[in-house]
Structure 1
Amino acid sequence: MVFNAKSLTYDPYRNFKFLVKWDNEYIAAVSKVSALTKSVEAKPWRAGGLNTTVLQLPMGTKYEPITLERGVSADPAFIAWMNRVNSYQAGGLTGSESFHDFRKDFQIEVYSLTNEKVLVVSIYNAWPSKLIVLPELNANAGEVAIETLELQNEGFTVERLAYAPEER
């Protein structure tokens, strides 16, 4: 028996060519973005008269938190966004507070090796739930201090752009 396999005529995209953008500005030095994950809850259900089979019904969709990491720098974007959530909690929705003004949409842009944008992931209604401003410090380690921002979100969409001709 002959097995004919169709090989790829282009390489898959690398996971180190990306930029993170919110408020129409690129966020400096983001070095890591966690995997974007969504899942649909399954609810078991039995139909009347068909009690021998348990059916599965799709229920709510859940989006896992997204983590952004970067080296500690002078850019105050992570801290400023977290402070907006803190002021929202402290304000208790007084007249000076805008309802949910701490939520924002942002994008992750993925690039090919030839620096062409090939994928845009748009994340909706994200807000920071955890911020690590400064990691554990150790004078004996030769590591970079990493700032970590964990974001709750309400979904994302993926837009695949045209493939670069060089990759075909």
Structure 2
Amino acid sequence: MPTPIPANARNPLRTFRFRIRMNTSAAGQYVAGVRTVSGLSVHVSPFEVWEGGNNLHRYAQPHKVNWEPIVMEQGLALDDTLERWALAVLEFARTGKAPGEAVKRDVFIDLWDGFAHPTEVPAPGPEARIRSFYVHNAWVSKYHALPKLDAMAGEVALLSLELTHEGWEPVPKPPASKPASPA
């Protein structure tokens, strides 16, 4: 007989539990209100070689790596961290001088364990984090300050950013601490 699953069981396969952390200081800060993150993918192009005199068989080796841009959406009325970053990049492109804000930043995408109720907040410790991705030297390459405005639609106003970066890598999860054994 199959074991029944409790109604409040955690589901680690949910995709709506994530946070964006940016390393602008020694301890990263979380960005509030990020709704979607997409484009964490990579494409490796082959380098094809034919053996001398043999045009029937080709040998392919991994060659060029193309990191796809990451697209983020955030509610306009929540946190202005991403907007200030986009404006700093625009200022740098316009004047050639780095403003007070960093233009290239390291970004961490943290995925958290799925909780039973949508209002539950994941614990801040590394135990609840399923996986993290470290995005190297990201900068804002496309910035949509306002969405299409329509008075007849019941949509939420979202700021949209496209981040160009120098690659990403998964961050190894720290080993789980063992519970204390009873003496």
Which band: TM-score by shorter chain?
A: 0.7 to 0.9
* Structure with a larger share of its residues in strand: 1
Query: What SS class does the counterpart of residue 56 from structure 2 fall into?
Result: strand
- Matched with 1:88 is 92
Deviation at 1:39, TM superposition (A): 1.0
| 1:154 is the counterpart of 2:166 | yes
CA distance in 2, matches of 1:123, 1:31: 18
Please give the root-mean-square deviation of Cα atoms over the aligned residues, in Å: 2.3
Deviation at 1:12, TM superposition (A): 4.3
Deviation at 1:68, TM superposition (A): 0.7
CA distance in 1, matches of 2:154, 2:73: 18
CA distance in 2, matches of 1:144, 1:164: 41
Paired residue total: 151
Q: Deviations over 1:111-130 (max 9, x none)?
A: 11243111111100110011
Deviation at 1:159, TM superposition (A): 2.5
TM-score (ref. length: structure 2): 0.74
Query: What SS class does the counterpart of residue 43 from structure 1 fall into?
Result: strand
Deviation at 1:18, TM superposition (A): 0.5
CA contact (8 A) 1:118 1:160 kept: no
- Matched with 2:21 is 21
TM-score (ref. length: structure 1): 0.80
Task: Give the aligned residue type for 1:52.
Answer: L
CA contact (8 A) 2:75 2:159 kept: yes
- Matched with 1:36 is 40
Gaps of 5+ in 1: 1-9
Query: What SS class does the counterpart of residue 113 from structure 1 fall into?
Result: coil
CA distance in 1, matches of 2:34, 2:129: 17
Gaps of 5+ in 2: 1-9, 116-121, 123-127, 179-183
- Matched with 2:50 is 46
CA contact (8 A) 2:11 2:113 kept: no
